[in-house]
Amino acid sequence: MTSFTTFYLSRVIGKKVFDNNGKYIGIVKDLLINPDSSNHPSEHPFVNGIKIKFKKEIVFYSFQGFVIEKNKGKIKIICNQAINLSDENILNDLYLAETVLDKQIVDLNGRKLVRVNDVRLVSVANGTHVIAVDIGIEGLLRRIGIAKSFNFILSLVKAKLPAKFILWDDVEAIDFSNLNIKLSKTFSKLQTLHPSDLADIIEDLGKKSSTEVFSSLDEEKAADVLEELEVETQIHIIESLSIEKAADVLDKMPADEVADILDALEDEKAELLLNEMEKDTSQEVRELLDYANNVVGSIMSTEILSFNENTSIEEVIAELRNKKPEAETLYNLFVTDEKDTLIATFSLRDLVISNPETKIHQIMKPSPVHLYDDQEIDEIAEFISKYNMLAIPVLDRNDVLQGMVVIDDVIDDLMDKGRTNK
């Protein structure tokens, strides 16, 4: 049977360390780990080093020379061999007490921020590993030394404090603001979260941490997350990024979403971003910004797909596969003439159930319900209610297709007005 010892970080921080001969080595100040579990076959972060204070001096040793013993609930730390820790580990490893204890981390399963009250570790034959973080009240009571007493009192009424742990693999440490640490995979686990969950987490962070987390995302993910953020946080993020970085992210977003963000920025900043963005995207955004805030054109999406009536179903599907549009772009597919005048619409359902050689004019619905870009936003609700549509085409007064209004955007606009009127 494999021998192992489990213990908590709070029980070793501040603990005196002695060697095999009883010589005093110092007091434990921290444990250092490599948070990238892929570097170790156990798949749990490996404790590389120990930070010790001896008199007024701070020293770092390899944890390979130390043994954790537990007897009748008491922890004893023995130094078998004092091996200096490498400079690389000192600079790049994660300091558990300084970086994780009492800090906010992301619970990836719960998709929320939680506070770390303690860290659970295990010592086995091949080394010592971090296995979980304690986010429960027991961890907090343990820190102040009254957990045992509290549990004893509860046991008298046949109750106990519920344990609340999160496995290390299911968390992401996020606050490195006080350390000069550079990790190759910092925030990598956050990439697995849904953009709306990430947005909620970023909004709960402090300004510096929120910028660091956002900056760690790839451009596609960053664009999706930026769309989900509240306006105030969007502005903070954009203001915190370089013009080049911000423009790269905005280029990945729908033009109407970008217009909403730039409309909330100072004109000078918005102009700098527009000049840095790709020409086609920038032009679309400028056209949307020209609309008054209370008209349909100001909230329409310009991400639309239109086809000639003589195009075959097979050709349409090929183009969709090539462009890989967002889901809302497929709410309505449009038929236009050579002057981009709207003449009909057809649905994704019509497309899927039709034979490949069928032409669009055989499945399209002429004289579609539409809005004009200069109509007031308040008129949209009536159309949605009457026709039960997910998206409505938007034309200019020459019947040229300009975009479409998506029901989600209408709801967001109405909710924003509701908040403003309260």
Q: Does residue 374 share a domain with residue 228?
A: no
Residue 420 has pLDDT above 60, yes or no: no
Give residue 383's pLDDT. 79
Whole domain around residue 101: which residue ranges?
A: 5-171
Q: Is the dihedral of CA 351, 353, 357, 362 positive or negative?
A: negative
Pair 17, 110 in one domain: yes
Instruction: Tell whether 135 and 282 lie within a shared domain.
Output: no
Q: Are both 285 and 223 inside the same structural domain?
A: yes
Q: What are phi and psi of 56, to 5 degrees?
A: -105, 10
Is the domain of 318 the same as that of 200?
Answer: no
End residue of a domain, out of 290, 323, 357:
290
| 177, part of any domain | no
The CATH number of whichever domain residue 54 belongs to comes to: 2.30.30.240
Same domain, 321 and 206: no
Tell me, yes or no, whether 38 lies in a domain.
Answer: yes
Q: Is residue 165 domain-resident?
A: yes
**Domain ends where: 225, 256, 290?**
290
Q: Are residues 270 and 310 in the same domain?
A: no
CATH code assigned at 356:
3.10.580.10
395, 402 contact by CB (below 8 A): yes
On whether both 96 and 137 belong to a single domain, the answer is yes
Q: Provide the percentage of residues in the chain whose pLDDT is more than 70.
A: 86
**In-domain check, residue 137:** yes
Q: Domain with 206 in it: what CATH number? A: 1.25.60.10
pLDDT in tens, 218-237: 889 999 999 999 989 999 99
Does some domain include residue 27? yes
Read off the pLDDT of residues 94-112 as tens digits, 9 standing for 90 and up.
899 988 888 877 777 777 7
CA atoms within 13 A on the CB side of 145: 4
Residue 147 pLDDT:
66
Do 50 and 148 fall into the same domain? yes
- Please state, in angstroms and rounded to a whole number, the distance separating the CA atoms of residues 158 and 4: 29
For residue 115, is pLDDT > 90? no
What is the count of structural domains for the chain?
3
Domain boundary among 290, 325, 348: 290
Question: Quick one: which H or E segment has residue 128?
Answer: strand 127-134
* DSSP calls for 16-45: EEEETT--EEEEEEEEEEE--GGGSTTSS-
Residues 270 and 320 in one domain: no
Residue 330 falls within a domain, yes or no? yes
* Residue 173 pLDDT greater than 80, yes or no: no
Alpha helices in 290-344 (DSSP H): 313-323
Does 149 share its domain with 22?
Answer: yes
129 lies in a domain? yes
pLDDT bucket at 79, cuts 50 / 70 / 90: very high
Q: Is the pTM of this model over 0.85?
A: no
- Kindly report, residue by residue over 336-345, the tens digit of the pLDDT: 999 999 999 9
Q: Please, which contacts does 220-227 make with residues 24 or more away whose CB atoms are closer than 8 Å?
A: 220/252, 221/191, 221/195, 222/249, 222/252, 223/249, 223/250, 223/252, 223/253, 224/195, 225/195, 225/198, 225/199, 226/250, 226/253, 226/257, 226/261, 227/195, 227/253, 227/254, 227/257
Domain assignment present for residue 392? The answer is yes
Examine the domain organization and report whether 22 and 131 are in the same domain. Answer: yes
